[in-house]
Amino acid sequence: EADPTALPPNVPWWGHYLGDGVEAHPYGKPSEYEAHVVRRNVPWLTATTESSVNFTPIHELHGFVTPNGLCFERHHGGAPSLNPADYRLMINGLVDRPMIFSMEDILRFPPVSRFHFLECAANSGMEWRGAQLNGVQYTHGMIHCVQYTGVPLKVILDQVGVKPNGTWLMAEGGDASGMNRSFPLEKALDDAILAYAMNGEMLRPENGYPLRLVLPGWEGNMWVKWIRRIEVGDQPWFAREETSKYTDLLDNGKARYFTWEMDAKSVITGPCPEKPVLRKGINQIKGLAWSGRGRVKEVHVSTDGGRNWMQARLPDPVLPKCLTCFNAEFEWHGEEVLLQSRVVDDTGYVQPTMAALQKVRGVNSIYHNNAIQTWLVNQTGEVENVRLG
């Protein structure tokens, strides 16, 4: 509710008094009026909060960068608080010179800074069998996008010298879950980063402080946080997180493992269940699109459940393996509308419908759901998560 004495032509009260001095907030925080913009969890989803997940409020964000305090967290053994003075990264296995690096050592290498999205393979996982969670924060909020700064993993591997038969790497976390994942050497040499900073400041504890693995475009589970060891081997480790979890049960009953690249996906973040349509007339559609394979080429939006599509605007920048914003207008006169978005990436891949995805993947999958999302705008402007067909 607006305070009428603050509105023109009055001079509002805050124009009559001095505000806070520069010592009031040594580390700045959002306005108290933005207190609703927070990560949220779904209490019934997991037995404990330590092995759990919370969700990024993507419907409240502007642009493609996620503020550090709003990046969703996913961990299997809680977020440890590490003193960087005690931190070490060990590299062993099929290398010429096994080495242990301190944070001081890591910070001496020339840094790179790149924007990348991290999407948990379980993002939208609850939506496989039908519309489940009525909010984009919950259906699509296991994603964040920040600017990472760190050392290319290739630079560190050059220090230890990978032996000719070293073709696989295993990254191991230093948290209580000791979570580990295998990945091929080609990815390490291509664009993997050992990151110590996000959005210009050191990583937050919950995102892996002081060092995490960044595997651009690949499923979030592989981005090992609090990384304490990398072993070089000649075959994958078949760790728990790549056999019993993060595999995809297909329609033919076989399970697929090593689905690393995140397929192209998009979602409308306004209107959405948390952001109803408030006015008749011209309304904005805004959303996010991404692809683990490269850049977003086009985003199409539909207001009739996918029968007709129009091209959305993609404001700059459109970066590879990074969230990309899109927007478009639609006119609303109080009728029911079925809003959808569909991304095409620069490999030509088109985001599928759920029906198309289920033909290949069946109905028992959890991970890697990149299907088109439908929002039903009803006659009062409220928005609901629905499944078509």
Q: Which residues here bind ligand MTE, judged by CB under 6 A?
A: 71-76, 118, 120, 144, 173, 175, 177, 179, 206-207, 220-221, 223-226
Q: CB of residue 227 vs ligand MTE: minimum separation in angstroms?
A: 7
Using CA atoms, how far residue 368 sits from 57, 98, 101, 171, 359, in Å, is 20, 36, 35, 22, 14
Q: CB of residue 271 vs ligand MTE: minimum separation in angstroms?
A: 26
Question: Closest CB to ligand MTE among 67 and 381?
Answer: 67
Question: Closest CB to ligand MTE among 147 and 327?
Answer: 147
The first and second tokens of residue 361, run together, are 């993947």
Q: CB of residue 51 vs ligand MTE: minimum separation in angstroms?
A: 8
Question: Closest CB to ligand MTE among 152 and 220?
Answer: 220
Question: Closest CB to ligand MTE among 258 and 332?
Answer: 258
Q: CB of residue 273 vs ligand MTE: minimum separation in angstroms?
A: 22
Q: Which residue is nearest to ligand MTE (CB)?
A: 173
Question: Closest CB to ligand MTE among 144 and 361?
Answer: 144
Q: CB of residue 219 vs ligand MTE: minimum separation in angstroms?
A: 7
Question: Closest CB to ligand MTE among 120 and 357?
Answer: 120
Positive or negative: CA dihedral 21, 63, 274, 133 = negative
Q: CB of residue 310 vs ligand MTE: minimum separation in angstroms?
A: 33
Question: Closest CB to ligand MTE among 207 and 385?
Answer: 207
Q: CB of residue 40 vs ligand MTE: minimum separation in angstroms?
A: 14
Question: Closest CB to ligand MTE among 127 and 344?
Answer: 127
Q: CB of residue 121 vs ligand MTE: minimum separation in angstroms?
A: 7
